A = this chain, B = another copy of it.
Amino acid sequence: MTIPRAAKTLRRTRIQEEKEEQILEAALDVFSASGFRGSTIDQIAEVAGISKPNLLYYFRTKEAMHRALIDRVLYTWLEPLRAFDAEGNPEEEIRSYIRRKLEMARDFPRESRLFANEVLQGAPHIEDELKGPLKELVDEKAEVIRAWAKSGKIIKCDPYHLIFSIWSTTQHYADFDVQVRAVLGQEHSGEGRFEDAARFLEQLFIGGLRPDRSES
């Protein structure tokens, strides 16, 4: 008798490994491009190069597939923030956080768009992750930033909005890529735009946070 798919994890075969990988890769392609509601199982199956029932043998529902994808990608996605080091030099920590986030926008735009689509549409499938692990991590790092501000290493500012602004400016280059390209025109749409963006953002954030003679 066929083992019910829920118990499948007891012993994963080589084929399971490969096919699930193959399916999630295709799912990332499709979900990131069309959002959950806008994506179809047929589409994903086609991109994965297998039949729909075969796909549904590995993931029983569209939701299950989406969830597996989120789970697999979320940890990696938060890596740059996790690397934010309280002991480091503030200016250098912020600079390298920006750089890492920009690299992710450049190298993993689909992952960025996957989350962007999800959050944009009300985060119906990742609410728990946002209010749980994400919030806790941000709270922790916000405390670090607050301490830096208190000791005068950077300007006095709201650490949460600082983090938001780093997220938004960097992820912008993945999520709104077509707009960026359209505005910059063909001649500046090469990979060099990430270098330009990095230069500008470091200038902005380092300059904007440096505790020279700040207002109030």
Contact = CB atoms under 8 A, between A and B. Distances in A.
Interface of A: 33-38, 113, 116-117, 119-123, 127, 130-131, 134-135, 138, 155, 157-158, 160-162, 164-165, 167-169, 171-173, 175-176, 178-180, 182-185, 188, 196-197, 199-201, 203-210, 212, 214-215
Nearest to A160: B184
Given A116-B120, A165-B172, 6 more contacts: A119-B179, A130-B178, A135-B182, A161-B197, A165-B200, A169-B169
B33 A35 contact: no
Contact of A123 (B122, B130, B178, B206): B178
A120 B113 contact: yes
A121 B127 CA distance: 22
B204 A204 contact: yes
A130 B182 contact: yes
A158 B196 contact: yes
A139 to B, nearest CB: 8
Contact of A155 (B35, B36, B207, B214): B207
A34 B37 contact: yes
